[in-house]
Structure 1
């Protein structure tokens, strides 16, 4: 078989050999039927047991790396028990993987809100008095402070006009698209209140989406109606709500419709080139398109999907950087944050094309990598002044145009991109300079993420309730969950490879777990899942640090109840009393099937005679991936004999 391809192309991306293969092949030690591993990451095709529902998750999500970490630890430790579960090969946001086979079609069993959060007697027919305009503004404050500056696809004055109508005549007086916009805004704000503090007044249930299914059903107009700016804005509002709740599969499906609507409207063409658009219309068209672009790039990276929007098909100018007409002096810099985020989204796409594109079309050359690295460094220099700590400014200086929460967001995006750019280099030979470079850069970025988030959390803790998971200014951006999750894996992996002191890794990971506990108060399931994955990983590393002649403690684990819900047994991240993890929340929306999230009954007893060298990895490897829910994309690796000529991943995993 040609050594440049994976033999199982239907279940994984095919790979090509690294340039070092040809240059150094003659000097490599020869093994029977072996080849040198390519410096590539691979996606995963999940075998769900039903071939018409097989799911693909791309390598950009980090799935290749985390599975590689598990396998490396498996080779070093045979002390894994059947109490562990293998939900840990999921990626935060894969809500399709948590959806039960027979989910309720009406969504009644998947309610998003607690009973004490909504005023249940308010109906869309107007049986109750509509809330006053001032109350609607107060409820939506979080949206306009946290989300609108980053994705300003709506006109704030237009939204306030909708609030005036609702306050005067109720939500039923609005058109369908207007209702969806109002519901999306208030649903996002209500979810934000879980991380900030409850509202003083209960919100009527008629003003929010009560289930994810209701939100998705509301988006049917995108299929049935001709595209328009308002329809695109309404669809974007629903998509942003789904993203804010980490329902990324659902948001991605809706995003495909939104991208097509944008193309039908010509939003990918700069409106300044067409004289019939007024200045305000052109301004809004640019804002809507760049918001679509930013969300699309985030979802493609988070789920490892191909790009929907190609940069060479777009000629829309950046906000405040118009090239087709003369610039006016009226720009007040309010869209500066959007400009930063759009430029970062472009870099995110460059990294995806460089490191994670289909193997046969990937242009992962040294020159291309240097170009992408330079673009990331250029963007980092652009945002440097914007993310400077406010303490560095004099009191007489004007207020910074970007809030502390958004400066935190920009910093985390910078370190996220460093990880995405360097993580694939860790698939090379561990003795190679490329591996060392990638690992050390990822360690730096991961530690920087933890330090930055920890500092922000300490600055925004509620002084009157220090034990509360809420913050004065909460961490709301959905990418924070992924950033903490992948950073924890990087540091634990580095510690297991003796590239970082274990104490340092655990210290940073523990601070990351505090961040996840704060994010988990939103009740989106995924922070709790990340906590369980990190707990299992740290338990494995702690086992490896114990001398062989000392007894091992049972690893702390998070198990699943019979109904498929996450339950903490002895893990360090078990929520204390009064914590935000509560039943009846979104964590129950898509319970994990217990038969799909547990290992086979066979287990390895710590007190039993250990297996021979190399066999212990096979035992745990089979336990980790030998079920239909988390099937490995190379099923023949479970055979008794491993042959690296069959699987290009195996050489570097050894």
Structure 2
């Protein structure tokens, strides 16, 4: 008799106001209910076997626990459906409506404090903190350009507000994100974001344009909502981001278009993969369907740009649109490129490809020489490789998260969580984990007397916790099976080991002064605590070993 497959489902809450909120199973809401039922059953059993109970215990009110959805994404925030609450009443007493013009300066006035800048020294310190902490994972901005833009704003003598909507959104979100990790800096004052609803109004206007500046602003806003754990707003903003990406063609490999500058191709890739990784994080956290499917794009992973050649026009066709040319943008080691050549190709076309490759090489060399005049080409090249490596690992992690959402949490009518597919997924998770550099032994050592570390990304801690969290996510569905089954027992022990590792690693990281900037750390610890409590309740793990 075949064993039942693990099967998790989400929850839907309907409110009297007509609103409804769905939290899908990949968020862990099903497992939370499983743990609650286990403890409720244990409490009911204990009450039945209790022989004597005093009156005070008998009359004690039951503890009111929050709904499981609130444990994941927090309580719902209700938006007042009244335009005047945001824009203010007009002199005639009627709500002020937006003007149907291309000028957005009126909008900055209506959104309170949007674009306000803090003290210049504080602003620069916050921007540096942001790039040290968040930029390696999500490099959708160019650091020198942002610093130059910020200095220009202050140099103009208008150190109070930016006239550009996208720039105003971007800088204000970056300042507020960095301030979360730098409570020692002065308060932001008028630059503090006080209303997510007002920020969302500004994002709707910014999303109408199809330029990188607007997408930068949208991504910065989504990251702000992620950092503050306002996941529903992050999901809504992510929808604007993805649609803007489709309209701007960022889901197509930029190396297919020769008219793009080398720096533009690099930035377009970085923007796309930043949006991709944020989409995977938000979708898994809320249990929502993925915003972009892997079959919808052909952008090659980070760090693979040096394997491409820009596509050149063929027979007068538009660049990058001819199927005959598509093969040229594949990596040099791709089997299709090795074994297939475009139809009607000629020696002249091959010579042109070689010349374009040399031309691109000259552009890159010129860029390296320009950077060498300031900080040194070797340092710049090393830093670029490090940043590409971090984002590449984060992309691989996000791809695995997306596969788990697709496998375990699709509609129950089309789920493909066969045992063979699950084994392949687990093998790929192990392969990614084995490819990571093994963390040093100091990662697990408690250092209580060390000075606080600077606010920056600790790659060892981040990816070690990410690896253990993948083990939790891929084995958690098996915990919905009968506790007497072998699959349940095996999955429980793997989850116990991963949960212990997550808690010990982050505890050591905190004791050594490390920063817990990534909100995924909180969800990882929360799920680890549930696993440990569940295992102890079922007597699969001792309480003494669970206390760390």
TM over 0.5, shorter chain: yes
Cα distance in 2 for partners of 1:64, 1:245 equals 24
Map 1:14-413 to 2 at 5 A: 19-20=2-3, 39-50=6-17, 52-78=18-44, 82-92=61-71, 94-95=73-74, 97-100=75-78, 106=85, 133-168=120-155, 169-194=158-183, 198-199=184-185, 201-205=186-190, 207-223=191-207, 225-322=208-305, 323-325=307-309, 332-385=385-438, 387-389=439-441, 405-413=458-466
SS at match of 1:46: strand
Structure 1 position 332, deviation (Å): 3.2
Residues 165 and 174 in structure 1, CA contact (< 8 A), matched pair in contact too = no
Residues 93 and 247 in structure 1, CA contact (< 8 A), matched pair in contact too = no
Deviations 1:430-453 (A, max 9, x none): 221111111111111111100101
SS at match of 1:154: coil
Residues 29 and 72 in structure 2, CA contact (< 8 A), matched pair in contact too = no
The answer to which structure, 1 or 2, has the higher relative contact order (CA under 8 A, 6+ apart) is: 1
Structure 1 position 61, deviation (Å): 0.5
Deviations 1:136-180 (A, max 9, x none): 211323211111111111111121012102322214244111111
Deviations 1:500-555 (A, max 9, x none): 002222x14xxxxxxxxxxxxxxxxxxxxxxxxxxxxxxxxxxxxxxxxxxxxxxx
Q: TM-score, normalised by structure 2?
A: 0.73
Residues 165 and 171 in structure 1, CA contact (< 8 A), matched pair in contact too = no
Residues 27 and 287 in structure 2, CA contact (< 8 A), matched pair in contact too = yes
Distance 1:45 1:135, change over 3 A: closer
Q: TM-score, normalised by structure 1?
A: 0.61
Structure 1 position 333, deviation (Å): 2.9
Structure 1 position 429, deviation (Å): 2.0
Distance 1:104 1:452, change over 3 A: farther
Cα distance in 2 for partners of 1:354, 1:340 equals 21
Partner of 1:624: none
Partner of 1:440: 493
Structure 1 position 249, deviation (Å): 0.4
SS at match of 2:484: coil
SS at match of 1:172: coil
Structure 1 position 388, deviation (Å): 3.5
The equivalent position to 1:452 in structure 2, one of 494, 505, 508, is: 505
Structure 1 position 101, deviation (Å): 7.5
Structure 1 position 292, deviation (Å): 0.3
Residues 61 and 91 in structure 1, CA contact (< 8 A), matched pair in contact too = no
Cα distance in 2 for partners of 1:180, 1:477 equals 21
Cα distance in 2 for partners of 1:450, 1:391 equals 12
Q: CA RMSD in A?
A: 2.8
Distance 1:374 1:263, change over 3 A: same
Deviations 1:302-340 (A, max 9, x none): 000111111122211111123433797955332211111
Cα distance in 1 for partners of 2:154, 2:301 equals 36
Cα distance in 2 for partners of 1:125, 1:245 equals 18
Distance 1:132 1:165, change over 3 A: farther
Residues matched between the structures, number: 428
- What runs of 5+ residues in structure 2 fail to find an aligned partner? 48-56, 88-111, 310-331, 333-356, 365-380, 445-454
Structure 1 position 182, deviation (Å): 0.8
SS at match of 1:72: helix
Structure 1 position 192, deviation (Å): 1.9
Structure 1 position 100, deviation (Å): 4.8
Partner of 1:490: 531
Distance 1:309 1:173, change over 3 A: closer
SS at match of 1:56: strand
Deviations 1:231-269 (A, max 9, x none): 111011011111100000011011111111111111111
Cα distance in 2 for partners of 1:202, 1:296 equals 31
Residues 319 and 335 in structure 1, CA contact (< 8 A), matched pair in contact too = yes
Residues 151 and 338 in structure 1, CA contact (< 8 A), matched pair in contact too = yes
The equivalent position to 2:544 in structure 1, one of 496, 503, 506, is: 503
